[in-house]
Structure 1
Amino acid sequence: MAGRRARVQAERKRRGRRRLIGWGIALVVLIGLGIAAAWGIGQLQERFAAAEDYPGPGTGEVVVQVQSGENGYDVAATLVEEDVIASAEAFTDILVADPTIQLHPGAYRVQQQMSAQGALDAILDPANKVELRVTVPEGYTLPQVFERLERDLGIPQAEFLQLAGDPSQFDVPDGALTIEGWLFPATYTFDDGATAQSVLETMIARQHQALEQHGVAPEDAQRVLTFAALVQREARFADDFGRVAQVFQNRLDINMPLQSDATVAYGTGNLHVVTTTADERADASNPYNTYQHTGLPVGPIGAPGDQAIQAVLSPTDGPWLYFVTINPETGETVFSETYAEHQVAVQEFQQFLRDNPGWGG
């Protein structure tokens, strides 16, 4: 009897221990589920909570660059890096919600610590696009062009000179000695951040466009630009361009030297003068010396514009073989058929130089 009572008591103790263990396991499971539920809720809250955003409107000013080929996430990363927006998500959420939004390459003035919507509005506003403007006049030579580009674009001349030293890397004809003549004279607008390479490529592409518009075949482009640059340098007034072109064409037709002081001066580098010396005109080592070498010079002597190109393609019909600007101040030019007529005009020019010694060089 005593033995049976002992066995019953032992069995009750084992059941009690099993209940405690069961309750303990249940409690652990419940606690684990609670933790998991809390973590999941936190994740959901974090996922669906509004992305961090500045209240705006922002302070100061910073220029951000939207590069060609970048997507909205790339732009958002740039804006975060510049402290324009508080988080990339705030910006990209707007783009995802409206797929019609288009971001265009360029540099834009924005403020720091703007709202994402404010930053997007600023980038989409054309008034905030940073642009640099430069005007290259007709007839400018490479050094003059590079000086103007440095002044207006802030790109050092040395960078242009280095690139220009290898014309083969640009879209110019094989055998071109330089890119002289291929930088079309016009007004250009560049985005902030433009490079020397991109600027030169743009100007050369514009010259190709001009030649195509004038109907110049690619194989004739270098010759036309060389001829047009000469006309550009020698002519002053609209009515003179066609006549100057005709004078040179008449000489080319009879294999007569062009005898242009402008080409000789280009070869010497003394571009500020209107005359040359007897020694300079006698120097056959100057490849641009059209007193010593017949035909067109070895390349353009400046940047010809539309008017000069058109004059070469459609010169003014006439028998002239000579011309001289008798008054460099006014640009008055006399065209002559005979050498005797030309000498009379030359005497007028020489008298001008005596009366105005500063014009001779």
Structure 2
Amino acid sequence: MRGCRNIAIVLLLAAVAGGAWVWQRYDSFANQPIAGLQAGDAVVVESGDSFARVLRKLRGQGVRNGSDIEWRLLARRMDVAARLKVGEYALRPGMTPLDLLRDMRNGRVVQHQVTIVEGWNIRQVRAALAKAEPLQHETANMDDAALMKALGHPGEHPEGRFLPETYAYSRGDSDLDVLKRAYDAMDKALADAWDRRAADNPLQTPYEALILASVVEKETGVADERPQIAGVFARRLKAGMLLQTDPTVIYGMGAAYDGNIRKRDLLADTPYNTYTRVGLPPTPISMPGRQALEAAANPAGGDALFFVAVGDGSGRHVFSRSVSEHNAAVAAYLQQLRQRRTAGKEKAKGTAAQ
């Protein structure tokens, strides 16, 4: 009897020791960094994938840590199989099986980014989205009208409708997904700016504010000048003066613009030529940022009716109240421009002589 008891004790101790060994190995597997991972490695979980299929994908990626049984036990303990989220998961150097399965359970997918730049037009926005990977491209064969219809805004002109920002997206998202978010963001930013508009603002509708903001965006990249630029245009609109802004003319020229704007271009009448037509152009000419929207809603006060670039490469402008002041500023700008060109040629000659 005593011998049977001793045997039972020995077997129990062996089982405990064996269990402890198994647990130590399992715990070591769960917390041991996965070998061989490189920055940029990832595994994609697709709709309908079982954990067994995901494990095969990991093996195909060169993951050799642990046995299949250990992976399945860990996944079961973490309830991953029942909560497996579709998406792309980073295989980061140094991460453990526990880290990876936690990411999959929590849906911590890889985030990619695409940026809409302030001042871009709709062609540039669509070109950037077409190059973005791994974004799905649903709009490739759509013209602008079809695009706006697909976004749920049929009949709207797309120019100016998408807020310049950096947008994060996941594998499986499409360009339409990004554009919907950018449209909604612009809609909200415009509404917020319009709600805060100055009481004496001459603009009649939020869309007019969007148009003016798009012009301000193209006229200056200097943030603190935007309200001043908007102020000049607001005063011109109140006075019934021509806006006379080159960016609208360039936009109206479309593909004919070769980098230079000539006198004949300023005289050629188009809906966007603010040298020949009074008031705002019929649509925005670019994607304005938040600061340009705010400037259009709250133009700076003052009495300046003209502005011209300083010409020193700073991007800043000289603001004038009268035609005579403006003509003097233009003459100074042209002189500055000639001096810079002469200095550039002399520098090029000196470099070539070395």
Aligned counterpart for 1:133 among listed residues 113, 137, 140: 113
Aligned equivalent of 1:319, options 290, 295, 303: 303
Instruction: Give the 3 Å change call, closer, same or farther, for CA 110–333 of structure 1 in structure 2.
Output: closer
Q: What percentage of residue pairs aligned between the two structures are identical?
A: 27
Aligned ranges for residues 201-212 of structure 1 at < 5 Å?
A: 201-212=180-191
Distance 1:347 1:65, change over 3 A: farther
CA distance in 2, matches of 1:157, 1:328: 42
CA contact 1:326–1:333 (8 Å) conserved in 2: yes
Q: 2:171 maps to what in 1?
A: 192
Report the CA distance between 1:135 and its aligned residue. Answer: 2.7
1:158 CA displacement: 9.5
Q: Distance in 1 between matches of 2:143 and 2:178?
A: 11
CA distance in 2, matches of 1:109, 1:92: 17
Tell me the equivalent position of 1:237: 222
Question: Shift of the alpha carbon at 1:93?
Answer: 5.1
Q: Partners in 2 of 1:228 and 1:147 — Cα distance?
A: 23
Equivalent-residue separation in structure 2 for 1:168 and 1:221 (angstroms): 21
Of stretches 162-171 and 223-232 in structure 1, the one that deviates more from structure 2 is 162-171
C-alpha distance 194-271 of structure 1, shift in aligned 2 (>3 A): farther
What is the deviation of 1:110?
Answer: 5.3
Q: Is the 8 A contact 1:325 1:334 kept in 2?
A: yes
Task: Say whether residues 1:331 and 2:331 are aligned partners.
Answer: no
Is structure 2 residue 198 aligned with structure 1 residue 213? Answer: no
Query: Any stretches of 5+ residues in structure 2 without a counterpart?
Result: 1-28, 60-66, 197-203, 343-354
Residue deviations 1:105-162 (CA, integer Å, cap 9, x gap): 5422359xxx997763341477x63221233321112233334334453559894573
Q: Please give the residue correspondences for 1:120-269 in structure 2 after superposition, counting only pairs within 5 Å.
A: 120-124=101-105, 129-153=109-133, 159=139, 162=142, 164-166=144-146, 167-172=148-153, 175-177=155-157, 179-216=158-195, 220-269=205-254
Partner of 1:341: 325
For 2:279, the equivalent position in structure 1 comes to 295
Larger radius of gyration between Structure 1 and Structure 2: 1
Native 8 Å contact 1:110 1:123 kept in 2: no
Which of these residues, 88, 110, 121, is aligned with residue 107 of structure 1?
88
After TM superposition, the structure 1 = structure 2 runs for residues 277-292 of structure 1, keeping only pairs within 5 Å, are 277-284=262-269, 286-292=270-276
SS at match of 2:176: helix
How far the C-alpha of 1:296 sits from its partner, in A, is 0.9
Aligned pair in 2 of structure 1 residues 161, 200: CA closer, same or farther (>3 Å)? farther
Secondary structure, in 3 states, of the residue corresponding to 1:176? coil
TM-score, length basis structure 2: 0.67
TM-score by length of 1: 0.66
Instruction: List runs of 5+ in structure 1 lacking aligned partners.
Output: 1-54, 68-72
- The structural deviation recorded for 1:357 is 5.7
